Amino acid sequence: MQKDKFGPETIYEIYDPKIGLEAYLVIDNTAMGVGKGGIRMTPDVSKEEVFRLARTMTWKNALFDLPFGGAKAGIRWNGGDEAKKREAVESFARAIEPILVTRYIAGPDVATGEEQMKWIAQTVNNFKATTGKPKDFCEAGQCGLPHELGSTGYGVVQSTLEALKFQGIDPKDVTVAIEGFGNVGTFAFKHLSEAGAKIVAVSDIKGTAFNEKGLKMDDLIKAQKEKGSVKFAQGATEMTHDEIFGLEVDILIPAATTDVINDSNKDGVKAKIIVEGANIPMTESIEKELVAKGILIIPDFVANGGGVISSYCEHVGKKPEEMFEIVKEKITTATRAVLERAKKDNRTLREVAYDIAREKVEVAMEKRATTFNI
């Protein structure tokens, strides 16, 4: 983990010896506002991973002009029933209660969702402590806007469509592969299908379903529910999970976890466009290698900002229909700005997006007298 002028400002390592809870919270930079970022629960989450994600949130929030800084949290979670999960989440909530709302606002991420956000808000007795809560969980006229409504996947599709529009490509003329069929992947599938794109491959952790004529969402959901994986979808050819990265498609959307495109499979990537629905689906060095091969890559903190934009909307009391309009406007505006500046300056989209975000954070940092306001 490398410290620089942006942060990280604060790193928390949490251990509850009573239940064996291990967790991390990294508040990277709060110049733009209170630290905002989700909580993931995975067996191998590390402090380094949480820092990388927190830094991504710093840039993401700045890029979309949200009044949030960058933060992220991770709980080591090897699985268990709902009671055990709730015990872990509530322990984590109690540990960070002193800084909730003032320094950090929690949100959903991998293996956390609306129920976990509700648990945290109830544990600390503060409705504003989290976003992404259930839509029927309300206080003083404000209600939750769960990510289960599909804001992140919807935003990924808006970014994809803007990139196609910029290149003069009709969505009806493209083939798509989506790695991951969770909250982001399912809604990316739904909205891309509605735009006319042909989704020929979808994967989950157990395998890949492929059909060159196009897959149907109902078949994928049924296969996952009844047989445990999308790879068993009716009419689909069964493949391994990693085979999805080597398919000859126009668009590849990694929409699951970090570092799925790596040294073991990067040379086989054949997609013309990669839209990073997941956070950090590859390292920046690998991203540069693929860009050098002529692949257009829309960075994660440009493409998948729908979730945190939804979080902002919930924080200020917007309704679902208002939220989707704001997600569309902010994602398309940011994507277009990055594409235009990258073309003008002959640079990668990530380099340009970083510059736009950095400039905003630097201005905010210059305006405050001290880092830790009391």
Around 327, how many Cα atoms within 13 Å sit in the side-chain half-sphere?
A: 31
Neighbours of 176 (CB within 10 A): 27
Rounded to whole angstroms, the Cα distance separating 91 from 95 reads: 6
Rounded to whole angstroms, the Cα distance separating 42 from 38 reads: 13
Cis omega (within 30 of 0) on the bond before 8? yes
- 90 neighbors 129 (Cβ within 8 angstroms): no
Rounded to whole angstroms, the Cα distance separating 285 from 301 reads: 16
Query: Which residues carry out catalysis?
Result: 72
Neighbours of 221 (CB within 10 A): 15
Strand partners, 24: 13, 74
Q: Which architecture characterizes domain 10-60+69-144 according to CATH? A: 3-Layer(aba) Sandwich (3.40)
Q: Do domains 10-60+69-144 and 151-304+346-350 have the same CATH topology?
A: yes
- 157 neighbors 191 (Cβ within 8 angstroms): yes
- Residue by residue, pLDDT tens for the chain (374 residues) are 789 999 999 999 999 999 999 999 999 999 999 999 999 999 999 999 999 999 999 999 999 999 999 999 999 999 999 999 999 999 999 999 999 999 999 999 889 999 999 999 999 999 999 999 999 999 999 999 999 999 999 999 999 999 999 999 999 999 999 999 999 999 999 999 999 999 999 999 999 999 999 999 999 999 999 999 999 999 999 999 999 999 999 999 999 988 999 999 999 999 999 999 998 899 999 999 999 999 999 999 899 999 999 999 999 999 999 999 999 999 999 999 999 999 999 999 999 999 999 999 999 999 999 999 75
Domain ranges (residues) in the chain? 10-60+69-144, 151-304+346-350
Element (DSSP H or E) covering residue 261? none
Q: Give me the CATH topology for the region 151-304+346-350.
A: Rossmann fold (3.40.50)
